[in-house]
């Protein structure tokens, strides 16, 4: 609560989290200066949040064992030592017979030297006002922060859900040792019943997701525009929980499907929870929520046979969108590389809709929200995405989890496009149309803060699966616009959570509960947790002294927008222009990106069995780009049809024809090769000195280096050194790595050359545009793969000798930092 002087009182707020609640409001807005200060401090003290500042970099010397992923390895060795102390079923012999049946023995336990041995995540020590810190050992503190629901069973007996100690968890209750099981076995019944009901309905869309905890830090106050709590003052930190997801697939589908990605952020503010529920694409398929059920029904597996899963390459989807020209702009994004990101950590996020910001004078401006990743925007190529889905369908989930576990906290900058209603009226497009974006050339981004994700969930189901995001969850200082798609989402999200999470009290599930006080007269309903004092559940009242009372202007107040119009169903005329921004997006892509868009359309439409649907979609693409339509038609063996008639043609020329920021290449990133996954192929006979030099240079720059062999395990260097391969070409093909290093050593190269997996590994790395380094004799492997053996750093092909490796270190790192060398595809882009 706030005192009259604007300072926070300690009432209801855990003093340990006071750093997250500062309420001194200021009207000064020097965003750029404060941003530079905070970012500079961040880079200096936390290595741009891209590194673990407490970790030490291992070095490698001759005659030593090389081990990759040292942080994970050290932890694994400690856990292995701890687990090995548990006997192999030594007490199982006592589970049988009459004596055990009437006097079961206590379970065997092992004392812990460290709480980390049984932790869900190495990052659990990192806390916010929402997450708290470690779960107290041997406690169940469910009776503020998530500490109240964290449970640890150290030194505790097994019990039922109702606290009865379980004497025997191995056998059901029977008549004698060989007689029938008894219905009175309430312990068995409770255990089986709970197991039978452990699954809840999955989300209709965004079912496949991954999430993490962190915080948002404001660069400075933007009270000139809004009283929203996260932006109240410089340096203020607000706890957040962020969930990334695919849209179309089911909960068990693959991560690398071609699809839009959800980017939902829950801000836990002292004014209540604010959910910014967006996507990695700034526009959507439809303009009005009335069409949302139709869209989802069309893109989901076809109902007669339930195929395809997590894919849009089928008749019903393309039948729908080819009859809905308003979908064309979103289709361009979905067919671009935006729809197959390299990582959740490397994709943008957008609020999609236009929102209002409201200040303390009740003045309003319009706003759009943009998240920009510090690692830059990078993608997979289609062939790579397809192969990854077979090797590791959890690719994005694993990437996010392992990065945070290793201290590589991903970071995004929040930028706002702020504009007046007068500006909005002057645009050739309607800002209430969710199929349109506002080019940054018209309304530049104002950077207002950064978001850092630094802690993984303790439990996937309790947090990631049960978190409930709702566009209706806003706070004072933020309000809705009249976007007709947003209006439907305001209702739909709450409605679906009631079904998924068992009733109207889903806000009491710990991951969803607010940090500030919750006081109202709502009662009962399934799974109610709160125990309210007294007999009053209504307002006004006198029996409770009028409490809880309405807050007046201290609470949420909707912006008083005036209306004078007829009630009707319809759309404004500006909504009828469907192609200008689709053309803008296509023209803003590089030649390689345009080629990928054409290829994606060809693939998708080739899966469409009804030729009339293909023809209709091509006729729509003619309105975007005749060149694009021709490229797609060529791959389908079809003639380019006449352009689809436009709904409305008497509109002004668009303000912007090319917007460079719409290309993925506009955000290369600021973290170099931090967290990049590097594969070094090895075999017996590898030249260890240059290998050690390369290894040290890469990990010093922040990369994650993996020695990959024909098998996992120990290999021997040319002089008898020991090198451990933690991955093999069989279990970890090149699609899982960002770059490939081929080490020197004649014997090693000869062994690799005789392995059929090696050529597939090298060719795929080349095909997918990844940096390849060949040291000394490894040049032979490039020749065998048909790759030109001439140094070409522009195309990411590098060669050197063991003696000269050190001179090329910076060139190697720069090439890897480019992420992908798509210039290799230029011969196919004419």
Question: Which entry of 206, 473, 768, 821 is annotated as an active-site residue?
Answer: 206
Integer Cα distance of 413 and 450 in angstroms: 4
Integer Cα distance of 268 and 273 in angstroms: 5
Q: Is 376 exposed, middle or buried (0-12, 13-18, 19+ CB in 10 A)?
A: buried
Integer Cα distance of 176 and 174 in angstroms: 6
Contact 455, 408 (CB under 8 A): no
End-to-end CA distance of the chain: 64
Nearest to 425 by CA among 354, 331, 375, 501: 354
Q: Does residue 206 have an active-site annotation?
A: yes
Question: Which entry of 147, 273, 279, 512 is annotated as an active-site residue?
Answer: 279
Q: Does residue 541 have an active-site annotation?
A: no
Nearest to 489 by CA among 468, 472, 466: 472
DSSP string, 710-723: SSSEEEEBTTS-EE
Integer Cα distance of 43 and 412 in angstroms: 14
Name the DSSP letter for residue 87. Answer: -
Q: Given 3-state DSSP classes, what are the helix, strand and coil percentages for the chain, each rounded to the nearest 5?
A: 35, 15, 50
Integer Cα distance of 596 and 589 in angstroms: 10
Question: By three-state DSSP, how is residue 181 classified?
Answer: strand
Provide the total of helices (H) and of strands (E) in the chain, helices listed first.
20, 18
Tokens 């398929």 belong to residue = 285
Integer Cα distance of 770 and 380 in angstroms: 11
Tokens 């020695």 belong to residue = 707
Nearest to 667 by CA among 337, 207, 429: 337
Q: At what angle do helices 484-500 and 292-299 cross, to 10 degrees?
A: 60
Integer Cα distance of 701 and 673 in angstroms: 7
List residues bridging with 417 in a β-sheet. Answer: 368
**What's the token pair of residue 268?**
């836990």
Contact 229, 270 (CB under 8 A): yes
**What's the token pair of residue 37?**
């200060």
Tokens 């049984």 belong to residue = 118
Integer Cα distance of 337 and 327 in angstroms: 18
Q: At what angle do helices 395-405 and 70-84 cross, to 10 degrees?
A: 90
Handedness of CA 275, 281, 287, 291 (dihedral sign): negative
Cα atoms in the 13 Å half-sphere on the side-chain side of 10 = 3
**What's the token pair of residue 301?**
């597996």
Integer Cα distance of 315 and 307 in angstroms: 11
| Catalytic annotation, residues | 206, 279
């Amino acid at each position: 609560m706030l005192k009259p002087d604007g300072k926070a009182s300690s009432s209801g707020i855990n003093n340990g989290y006071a750093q997250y609640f500062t309420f001194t409001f200021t009207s000064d807005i020097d965003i750029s200066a404060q941003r530079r200060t905070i970012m500079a401090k961040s880079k200096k003290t936390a290595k741009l949040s891209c590194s673990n500042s407490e970790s030490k970099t291992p070095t490698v010397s001759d005659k030593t064992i090389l081990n990759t992923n040292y942080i994970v390895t050290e932890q694994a060795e400690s856990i292995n030592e701890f687990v090995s102390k548990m006997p192999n079923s030594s007490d199982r012999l006592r589970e049988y017979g009459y004596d055990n049946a009437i006097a079961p023995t206590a379970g065997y336990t092992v004392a812990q030297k460290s709480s980390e041995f049984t932790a869900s995540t190495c990052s659990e020590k990192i806390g916010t006002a929402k997450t708290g810190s470690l779960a107290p050992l041997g406690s169940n503190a469910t009776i503020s922060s998530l500490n109240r629901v964290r449970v640890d069973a150290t030194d505790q007996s097994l019990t039922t859900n109702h606290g009865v100690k379980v004497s025997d968890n191995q056998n059901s209750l029977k008549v004698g040792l060989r007689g029938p099981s008894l219905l009175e076995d309430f312990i068995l019944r409770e255990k089986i019943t709970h197991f039978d009901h452990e699954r809840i309905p999955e989300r209709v869309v965004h079912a496949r997701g991954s999430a993490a905890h962190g915080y948002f830090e404001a660069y400075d106050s933007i009270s000139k525009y809004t009283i929203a709590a996260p932006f109240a003052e410089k340096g203020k930190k607000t706890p957040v929980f962020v969930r990334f997801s695919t849209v179309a697939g089911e909960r068990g589908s693959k991560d690398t499907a071609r699809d839009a990605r959800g980017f939902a952020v829950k801000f836990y503010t002292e004014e209540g929870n604010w959910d910014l529920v967006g996507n990695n694409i700034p526009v959507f398929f439809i303009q009005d929520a009335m069409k949302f059920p139709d869209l989802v029904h069309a893109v989901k597996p076809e109902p007669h046979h339930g195929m395809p899963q997590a894919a849009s390459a089928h008749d019903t989807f393309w039948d729908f969108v080819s009859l809905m020209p308003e979908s064309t702009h979103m289709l361009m994004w979905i067919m671009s590389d935006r729809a197959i990101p390299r990582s959740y950590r490397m994709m943008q996020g957008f609020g999609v809709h236009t929102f209002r910001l409201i200040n303390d004078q009740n003045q309003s401006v319009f706003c759009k929200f943009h998240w920009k990743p510090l690692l830059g925007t990078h993608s997979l190529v289609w062939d790579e995405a397809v192969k990854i889905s077979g090797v590791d369908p959890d690719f994005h989930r694993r990437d996010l989890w392992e990065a945070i576990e290793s201290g590589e906290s991903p970071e995004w900058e929040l930028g706002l496009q702020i504009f007046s209603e007068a500006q909005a009226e002057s645009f050739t497009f309607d800002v209430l149309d969710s199929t349109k974006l506002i080019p940054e050339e018209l309304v530049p981004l104002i950077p207002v803060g950064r978001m850092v994700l630094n802690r993984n969930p303790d439990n996937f189901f309790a947090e990631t699966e049960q978190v409930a995001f709702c566009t209706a969850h806003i706070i004072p200082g933020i309000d809705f616009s009249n976007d007709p798609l947003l209006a439907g989402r305001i209702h739909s999200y709450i409605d679906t959570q009631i079904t998924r999470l068992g009733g109207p009290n889903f806000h009491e599930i710990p991951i969803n509960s607010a940090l500030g006080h919750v006081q109202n007269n709502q009662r009962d309903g399934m799974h109610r947790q709160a125990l309210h004092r007294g007999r009053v559940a209504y307002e006004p009242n006198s029996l409770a002294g009028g409490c809880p009372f309405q807050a007046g202007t201290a609470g949420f107040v909707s912006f008083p927008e005036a209306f004078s119009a007829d009630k009707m169903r319809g759309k404004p005329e500006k909504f009828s222009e469907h192609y200008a921004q689709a053309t803008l997006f296509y023209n803003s892509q590089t030649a390689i990106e345009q080629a990928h868009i054409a290829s994606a359309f060809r693939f998708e439409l080739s899966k469409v069995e009804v030729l009339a649907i293909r023809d209709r979609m091509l006729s729509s693409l003619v309105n975007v780009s005749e060149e694009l339509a021709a490229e797609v038609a060529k791959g389908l063996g079809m003639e380019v049809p006449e352009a689809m008639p436009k709904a409305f043609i008497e509109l002004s020329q668009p303000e912007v024809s090319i917007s460079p920021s719409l290309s993925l290449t506009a955000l290369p990133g600021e973290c170099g090769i931090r967290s990049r996954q590097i594969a070094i192929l090895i075999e017996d006979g590898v030249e260890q000195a240059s290998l050690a030099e390369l290894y040290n240079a890469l990990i010093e720059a922040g990369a994650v280096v993996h020695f990959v062999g024909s098998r996992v395990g120990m290999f021997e260097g040319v002089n008898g050194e020991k090198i451990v391969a933690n991955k093999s070409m069989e279990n970890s093909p090149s699609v899982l790595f960002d770059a490939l290093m081929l080490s020197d050593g004649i014997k090693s190269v000869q062994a690799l050359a005789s392995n059929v997996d090696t050529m597939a590994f090298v060719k795929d790395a080349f095909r997918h545009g990844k940096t390849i380094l060949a040291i000394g004799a490894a040049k032979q492997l490039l020749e065998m793969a048909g790759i030109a053996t001439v140094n070409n750093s522009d195309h990411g092909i590098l060669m050197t000798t063991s003696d000269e490796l050190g001179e090329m270190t910076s060139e190697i790192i720069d090439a890897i930092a480019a992420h992908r060398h798509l210039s290799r595809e230029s011969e196919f882009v004419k």
